[in-house]
Structure 1
Amino acid sequence: MDILLSFLQTLLNSFLEMFYLVGVIIIIGLILGVLERLSNTYLVLAFGAKGVMVTAWIGTPIHEIGHLIQCFIWGHRVSRIKLLQLNHPSGILGFVEHHYNPNSMYQQVGNFFIGLGPIFSGIGSLILGMYFLVPDSYFAFKTELQQRIKFEQLDITLLKTIVESVSVISKNLFTIENLLNPLFWIFLVIAFSISSHIALSTADIRGSAKGLSSIFFILFLINILSRLLNWDTYQMIIKLAGYNAYVLAFGSIALLFSFITLVISILLFNAKRLWVRWKS
């Protein structure tokens, strides 16, 4: 009985540790996926497939570059790349075809990060865009986050951190000075294009799931070893997961622009519908 309880406790700890380490980025990815699908649905209803293509010129290459960079990091062999294709019969805008050694645990774990690559490249591109095009807003945002945003555990604090981050971004980005700055409007175009193509495809999610199972297996083995050696890996993992504060803060940039893109898509759809009714 004690062995069974110990096994179940180790299993539970491994799940919790995995959630602390990668749960936040998964949650952000799921929310971005919902927002993007809704936005694209309204754009297609309003303008047909061409409505999505307008933002694909910027968004799709950044999406695929995210996969590509992670392939290099995790040692996967890349066989074919298409950063942008506009006339594919299946509607696939781009892809990165890669292969890995199934006997390599490192490369198996890499599947998770390769699948999530577009989120990393999307958020990173948004941050770089702020840094180069609206630097005053970027540094004001960064300074205020360091002073205000705290993260210690995955509870209601997660929602509070997202709300506070979005509030800080909005306050520092949508200012009178920026509205009069042409570079700000260039940044908005880039930001909307990236946010419209940041979400994961079904193939991306399947690939990530393979890597996630490998991450869990590694954590489970570490926890078995830690029980034998009487180590407290749980507290160590929680402290290590403090980086989630930055993932949430900067991920909220993508969430903000994805939400704004959705609102604009809904407005365009309704405007088109009113125009059609008026003409008829």
Structure 2
Amino acid sequence: MDILLSFFHMLLLSFIELIYLVGTLIAVGFILGFLERHSNSYLVRAFGPRGVLVTAWIGTPIHEIGHLIQCFLWGHRVTRVKLLQLNSSNGVLGFVEHQYNRNSMYQQVGNFFIGLGPIFSGIGSLILGMYLFVPQSFKTFQQQLREHISLEKLDINVIKSIVGAILAISKSLFTIENFINPLFWIFLVIAISISSHIALSKSDIQGSAKGLLTIFFLLVLFNLAAGLLHLDSYRLILKLAEFNAYVLALSGIAFLFSLLTLVVSYILYQIKKGL
């Protein structure tokens, strides 16, 4: 009985550690997906099924490049790539097909990050766009990261700091100086296009789930070894999970423009509805 209880305790501990390690990334993916679905819904209702193609020219290639980069990082063999296809019979705007060695734990874990690739490429592209087109706002973003975001336990104070940082970046973006700057409007179009296609597709989520199971299995093995060696595995995982504060801070940029995309889509829908 004691052995059975110890086993269930180890499974529960591994599950909690899994949430600490990748839960934030998963939550970011679902929130962005929720915002994107509603944005695209308004675009479709305003302009028909091809309404989402307005933003696909930029957003879809960035989405697929995210998958592609992660495939290379995790040693998967890329067999076929389509960064953008506008006349697909099944409505798929782009794809990356890949193969991996099922005997390789490293490549199996890679499935999780390959599925989440568009989040990394989307956020990275938004930050790069800010650096190139609205450098003053990028400096504000850097300053907020340095002053308010640090590697610490993820709690309500960290959340408040991140919200404050997002508000500060918003104020630096939407200024009179930027409104009369053509580069700001170029950045805005790019940012909305990226945010409209940053979320994960059903196949992306299914691919990530495979890698998530492998990560959980490795955590179980890790906890088993830690138990035999009398190590505090929970404390070690908590230390590793401190990166979540930065994950949320960087994701704040994506949240900001995804919300903006939702508002713009809704306004366009209301205008179309009133005509």
Q: Which TM class, normalised by the smaller chain length?
A: over 0.9
Counterparts in 2 of 1:165-204, with a 5 A limit? 165-204=165-204
How far does residue 138 in structure 1 lie from its aligned partner after superposition?
Answer: 0.7
Query: How far apart are residue 164 of structure 1 and its match?
Result: 2.5
Aligned counterpart, 1:90: 90
Question: One-letter code of the match for 1:234?
Answer: Y
Q: Distance in 1 between matches of 2:20 and 2:203?
A: 24
Which residue in 2 is equivalent to 1:103? 103
Deviation digits for residues 135-175 of structure 1 (CA, Å, limit 9, x no counterpart): 12111221122212356334545643542232122122222
Is it true that 1:58 corresponds to 2:58 in the alignment? yes
3-state secondary structure, aligned to 1:112: helix
**1: CA distance between counterparts of 2:144 and 2:16?**
30
What's the CA shift string for 1:48-87, capped at 9, x where partnerless?
A: 1221001000000000000000000111111110000001
Mapped partners of 1:42, 1:177: distance in 2: 30
| Aligned counterparts of 1:170 and 1:264: Cα–Cα separation in 2 | 16
Range with greater deviation from structure 2 (260-269 or 175-184): 175-184
Identical positions, percent: 67
Equivalent-residue separation in structure 1 for 2:14 and 2:44 (angstroms): 42
Matched residue, 1:271 = 271
Name the structure 2 match of 1:21.
21
Provide the rounded CA distance (Å) in 2 between the counterparts of 1:148 and 1:83: 37
Alpha-carbon RMSD: 1.4
Q: Aligned in 2, Cα 1:158/1:86: closer, same or farther, shift over 3 Å? A: farther
Partner of 1:88, secondary structure, is coil
Structure 2: runs of 5 or more not aligned:
none
Matches for 1:1-280 after TM superposition, within 5 Å: 1-150=1-150, 152-157=152-157, 159-275=159-275
Q: Structure 1 unaligned segments of length 5 or more: list them.
A: 276-280
Contact 1:20-1:154 within 8 A present in 2 as well? no
**For the residues of structure 1 that align with 2:169 and 2:214, how far apart are their CA atoms?**
36
TM-superposed CA distance for 1:97, in Å, is 0.6
For 2:81, what is the secondary structure of its paired residue? Answer: strand
Give, in angstroms, the shift of residue 3 of structure 1.
1.8
Contact 1:116 1:200 in 2 (8 A): yes
Distance (Å, rounded) in 2 between the aligned partners of 1:145 and 1:33: 25
User: 1:101-120: CA deviations, max 9, x gaps?
Assistant: 11111110000000000000
Q: Is the 8 A contact 1:36 1:196 kept in 2?
A: yes
- Counterpart residue identity of residue 187, structure 1: F
Q: TM-score, normalised by structure 2?
A: 0.96
Look up the SS of the partner of 1:81 in the other structure. Answer: strand
CA contact (8 A) 1:65 1:118 kept: yes
**Aligned letter for 1:273?**
K
Quote the offset at 1:11 in angstroms. Answer: 1.2
> For the Cα contact (< 8 Å) 1:56–1:193, is it kept in 2?
yes
Query: What TM-score, normalized by structure 1, do the two folds share?
Result: 0.94
Cα 1:242/1:90, change in 2 over 3 Å = same
**Quick one: distance in 1 between partners of 2:168 and 2:116?**
26
Q: Match for 2:11: what amino acid?
A: L
Secondary structure of 1:85 counterpart: coil
In structure 1, how many angstroms separate the alpha carbons of the residues matched to 2:78 and 2:191?
28
Aligned partner of 1:278 in structure 2 is none
CA contact (8 A) 2:148 2:165 kept: no
Contact 1:55 1:193 in 2 (8 A): yes
The amino acid of 1:250's aligned partner reads L
